[in-house]
Chains A and B, each alone.
Chain A
Amino acid sequence: MISSFLADGAASLVSVAGRGESSMQNLTTTAMAIVAAILFILALKWLSAPSTARRGNLAGEIGMTVAILGALLGYHILRYEWIIVGFTIGAMIGAPMAIWMSMTAVPQRTALSHACGALAAALVGTAHYYLYFQPGAAVPQRITMAILCIEVILGALTFTGSLMAFGKLQDLLPARPTLYRGQNVLNFLILGAALATGVLLTLHPTMRVLFPILLGLATLFGVLLILPIGGADMPTVIALLNSYAGLSASMMGFVLNNRLLIIAGALDGASGLILSIIMCRAMNRSFANVLFGAFGQVQASAASAEKKSVRRTTAEEAAQVMEAAASVIIIPGYGMAVAQAQHKVRDLYDQLTNRGVDVKFAIHPVAGRMPGHMNVLLAEAEIPYDRLIEMDEINADFPQCDVALVIGANDVVNPAARHDKSSPIYGMPIINADRAKTVMAIKRSMNPGFAGIENELYTADNCLMLFGDAKTVVAGVAKELAEAAKSN
């Protein structure tokens, strides 16, 4: 296969050399595509570490510019005005979102951009299909038609699915799963119908009536797929949608015979796949369970009936305990993002660090609403990134830790995941906050977390509760510490 690939390449080079001007252009565009593909790969390579990451982003930008220039130089282009119109509209949507959207809204923005990418793929696929009916156009080969159908199905379902995810993350739609009887059966039927329509279209590409049906079914499936997904599963779902958006771009490359599209789409698909696998592992669940398990519904468990008492504490007392501590580990969760508390957390970090207290952050892979959400928020608050420690690395530190401060995290610190076989989160890797000498948890109320389960951490003997909005409570503790420092 390698030899045939090389032979193909050599043959096209030879034919390019013998075909005059348009072939020169062909060679130029091929060279530009290779440069762009290499820059994309370098971009991902450099992104692996914070020290080189900005260079990586720059490589990506240059690669994309080269690719766009290559496309603009293409000899098929006759008119530029509509390209300019499209580009202007895109810039007017994309730039303001990137400049002014707050960092806590990054999951929503990501969902929206998945929607945009998928929409582009679906629109291009649709345009290609109808262009086959133009005079002089060749009837597509079966394999091309099949791939075009996959491109359009993936693009359309990712478009509506991502819009649904955006709606849930932005609180335009209820974040809790929407469930009804026979939901999974209906979803599979619709997906099956979409695939069947795709097969029919592949066999009979000229049956134009089928194409809108294919689009409609895939669009509907995207909506229905995300309805039963709860907020806690958003990190996995966003990663999966990321993968689909990439795959649809790659499929477009197959249809157009464009290697750059195949490569760039495959890179994105691979990235989304890796992230969703990491997210699934961090919850000890399978893809199927995330997509069809309807996790996060309110469970009327018997456990909620027996209310154990919790110990409350005040900001003043919390400040005193932390002041006397040698080490504090902070465990942030989605609650920190909702309350926009990261800058107050930074104040607390400063107060404690100035006293010589060792402060670290324990980051669970699924904390927040998308992969890496907590890291971005804490980096925004200018907390040095070498203080942000992954779960597996920091868990061994808890027995020597004086205070574990849980800020708006819940299920990721629930010890039931380790021992309670009846718990829905049993087997999920957790942050061992309960093993610290003292645990303090900031929470708005005793309502259970997203998974709808009681957290036995709060009733443990070493746990003190700080009730209130995360931002207010953290600010209160930081203020107590600042005043204590002044009076000394």
Chain B
Amino acid sequence: MTTGPMDFGSQLFVFILAAFLGLEVIKRVSPLLHTPLMSLTNAISAISIVAAIEIAGEGRTALSTTLGTLAVAAASANIIGGFMITDRMLKMFKKREVRK
């Protein structure tokens, strides 16, 4: 996944732009959904799995493979658990009576 050369300046540019976008979008999230918001963003932040996969799969040293495998486990627990529980919570939010 490592892309071509990118200097610190453009990395910072991407970071600030994404953080700004995040602030603007998340400001609009209803307080009603703050718990699902946290579990969803938490699942998204487990994007570090992308780097963990590379380290676990490259097999460069025993240490890096071990650390990479543990990191894949930790991140995927977060991804699977995070998205599943977010959906479980969101399913519960209903506007009107469903049972009579």
Residues of A in contact with B (beta carbons under 8 Å apart): 1-2, 4-5, 8, 12, 15-16, 26, 29-30, 33, 36-37, 40-41, 43-45, 47-51, 53-54, 56-57, 60-61, 63-64, 67-68, 70-72, 74, 76-80, 82-83, 85-87, 89-91, 93-95, 97-99, 101, 103, 106, 109-110, 113-114, 116-117, 119-121, 123-124, 126-128, 130-131, 134, 143, 238-239, 242, 245-246, 248-250, 252-254, 256-275, 278, 363, 365, 370-373, 375-376, 379-380, 382, 384-386, 388, 390
Contact = CB atoms under 8 A, between A and B. Distances in A.
Nearest to B85: A98
Interface string B39-76: 11111111111111111111111011101111111111
B81 to A, nearest CB: 3
B21 to A, nearest CB: 6
Interface of B: 1-11, 13-16, 18-23, 25-61, 63-65, 67-99
B70 A267 contact: no
A87 B56 CA distance: 11
12 contacts: A2-B13, A47-B40, A50-B90, A57-B87, A60-B44, A116-B75, A120-B52, A127-B67, A257-B11, A266-B18, A272-B38, A379-B93
Nearest to A378: B92
Contact of A86 (B27, B72, B83): B72
Nearest to B45: A268
B73 A376 contact: no
Given A29-B3, A82-B72, A117-B45, 16 more contacts: A45-B28, A50-B32, A51-B95, A67-B49, A77-B57, A89-B76, A113-B77, A117-B75, A130-B63, A242-B38, A256-B1, A265-B47, A266-B22, A267-B19, A274-B26, A275-B34
Contacts of B31: 278, 363, 365, 371-372, 375, 390
Nearest to A248: B48
Nearest to A121: B48
B71 to A, nearest CB: 4
